[in-house]
Structure 1
Amino acid sequence: MDAFTLSRIQFAANISFHILFPTITIALCWFLVFFRLRHGATRGTPAALGWEQAYYFWTKVFALSFALGVVSGITMSFQFGTNWPGFMEQVGNIAGPLLGYEVLTAFFLEASFLGIMLFGRGRVSDRVHLAATLMVAFGTTLSAFWILSLNSWMQTPAGYETIDGKFHAVDWLAIVFNPSFPYRLGHKLLASALTAGFLIAGVSAWQLLKGTATDGTRKALRTAITAVAIVIPLQIFMGDLHGLNTLEHQPAKIAAIEGIWHTEKGAALTLFGLPNEKEGRTDYAIQIPKAASLILAHDIDAELKGLNDFPGAHPPVAPVFWGFRVMVGMGMLMLAVAWWGAFMLWRRRGQDLSTLPRLLLGTLVGMTFSGWVATLAGWYVTEIGRQPFLVYGLFRTADAVAQHPPGMVAGTLVAYLTVYVLLLVAYIGVIKYMAEHSTMPTAAVAPPAPQAI
Structure 2
Amino acid sequence: MAMPGDALLLARWQFAFTVSFHIIFPAISIGLANYLVVLEGAWLMTKRPVYRVLFFFWSKIFAVGFSMGVVSGVVMSYEFGTNWAGFSNAAGSVTGPLLTYEVLTAFFLEAGFLGVMLFGWHKVRPSAHFFATLMVATGTLISTFWILASNSWMHTPQGYMWQDGRIVPVDWIKIIFNPSFPYRWVHMTLASFIVAGCLVVACSAWHMLAGRQDRPVRKAFSMGLWLLLVIVPIQIGVGDAHGLNTRKYQPAKIAAIEGLWETEKGGTSLNLVGWPDMDREETRYAIKVPHLGSVILAHSWTGEIQGLKNFPPEDRPNSTIVFWSFRLMVAMGLLLLAMALLGLALRRGDRIYNARFFLRFAMLMGPSGLIALIAGWITTESGRQPWVVYGVLRTRDAVSAVSAQQVGTSLMVLVVVYFAVFGTGIYYMLKLMVKGPAPFNDEMDEVGTDTGKGNQRFDHRPLSRPTEFIDE
- Residue 407 of structure 1 aligns with an amino acid whose one-letter code is Q
Distance 1:78 1:425 in 2: 21
Aligned to 1:281: 282
User: Matches of residues 48-67 of structure 1 in structure 2 within 5 Å?
Assistant: 48-67=48-67
Distance 2:434 2:14 in 1: 35
Distance 2:375 2:453 in 1: 46
Distance 2:348 2:354 in 1: 10
Aligned to 2:264: 264
Asked if 2 retains the 8 angstrom alpha-carbon contact of 1:53 and 1:215, the reply is no
User: Matches of residues 61-210 of structure 1 in structure 2 within 5 Å?
Assistant: 61-210=61-210
Aligned to 1:328: 330
- Residue 357 of structure 2 aligns with an amino acid whose one-letter code is L
TM-superposed CA distance for 1:447, in Å, is 11
Aligned to 1:35: 39
- Does residue 1:226 correspond to 2:226, yes or no? yes
1:3-43 CA-partner distances (Å, limit 9, x unpaired)? 11000000000000000111111121111011001111122
Aligned to 1:418: 416
SS at match of 1:304: coil
1:210-242 CA-partner distances (Å, limit 9, x unpaired)? 245642222111111100011111011001100
Aligned to 1:5: 9
Asked if 1 retains the 8 angstrom alpha-carbon contact of 2:7 and 2:402, the reply is yes
Asked if 2 retains the 8 angstrom alpha-carbon contact of 1:212 and 1:435, the reply is no
Aligned to 2:243: 243
Aligned to 1:400: 398
- Residue 7 of structure 1 aligns with an amino acid whose one-letter code is A
Q: 2:432 aligns with which of 409, 429, 434?
A: 434
1:51-90 CA-partner distances (Å, limit 9, x unpaired)? 1110000000000000000000001111000000011100
Runs of 4+ in 1 over 4 A off after TM superposition: 444-449
Aligned to 1:310: 311
- Cα 1:359–1:112, aligned 2, differ >3 Å: closer, same or farther? same
TM-superposed CA distance for 1:445, in Å, is 6.2
- Residue 408 of structure 2 aligns with an amino acid whose one-letter code is A
Higher relative contact order (CA 8 A, sep 6+): 2
SS at match of 2:168: strand
Aligned to 2:448: none
Asked if 2 retains the 8 angstrom alpha-carbon contact of 1:204 and 1:213, the reply is no
1:254-307 CA-partner distances (Å, limit 9, x unpaired)? 000001112222111000001111111011100001111111011111221111
- Cα 1:394–1:336, aligned 2, differ >3 Å: closer, same or farther? same
- Cα 1:245–1:445, aligned 2, differ >3 Å: closer, same or farther? closer
Distance 2:13 2:73 in 1: 16
TM-superposed CA distance for 1:365, in Å, is 1.2
User: Matches of residues 293-372 of structure 1 in structure 2 within 5 Å?
Assistant: 293-311=294-312, 312-344=314-346, 346-349=347-350, 355-372=353-370
Asked if 1 retains the 8 angstrom alpha-carbon contact of 2:274 and 2:286, the reply is yes
TM-superposed CA distance for 1:430, in Å, is 1.8
- Residue 293 of structure 2 aligns with an amino acid whose one-letter code is A
- Cα 1:448–1:364, aligned 2, differ >3 Å: closer, same or farther? closer
TM-superposed CA distance for 1:358, in Å, is 1.3
- Cα 1:445–1:434, aligned 2, differ >3 Å: closer, same or farther? closer
- Cα 1:91–1:347, aligned 2, differ >3 Å: closer, same or farther? same
Percent pairwise identity: 46
SS at match of 1:2: helix
- Cα 1:445–1:414, aligned 2, differ >3 Å: closer, same or farther? closer
- Cα 1:242–1:446, aligned 2, differ >3 Å: closer, same or farther? closer
SS at match of 2:315: coil
Asked if 2 retains the 8 angstrom alpha-carbon contact of 1:123 and 1:447, the reply is no
Aligned to 1:25: 29
Distance 2:46 2:322 in 1: 48
Unaligned runs of 5+ in 2: 446-450, 457-472
1:323-358 CA-partner distances (Å, limit 9, x unpaired)? 1110111111111112112322x2135x8x6x4211
SS at match of 2:225: helix
TM-superposed CA distance for 1:423, in Å, is 3.7
Distance 1:314 1:278 in 2: 12
Distance 2:54 2:453 in 1: 19
Q: How many residues align?
A: 441
Distance 1:230 1:130 in 2: 25
Distance 1:446 1:288 in 2: 59
Scaled by the length of structure 1, the TM-score of the pair is 0.94
TM-superposed CA distance for 1:428, in Å, is 3.6
- Cα 1:34–1:101, aligned 2, differ >3 Å: closer, same or farther? same
Distance 2:206 2:45 in 1: 28
TM-superposed CA distance for 1:431, in Å, is 2.7
TM-superposed CA distance for 1:409, in Å, is 1.3
1:89-144 CA-partner distances (Å, limit 9, x unpaired)? 00011001000000000000000000000001111111011000000000000000
- Residue 138 of structure 1 aligns with an amino acid whose one-letter code is T
Distance 2:323 2:344 in 1: 32
Unaligned runs of 5+ in 1: none
Distance 1:446 1:302 in 2: 60
Computed over aligned residues only, the root mean square deviation of the Cα atoms, in angstroms, reads: 1.8
Distance 1:233 1:279 in 2: 37
- Residue 374 of structure 1 aligns with an amino acid whose one-letter code is A
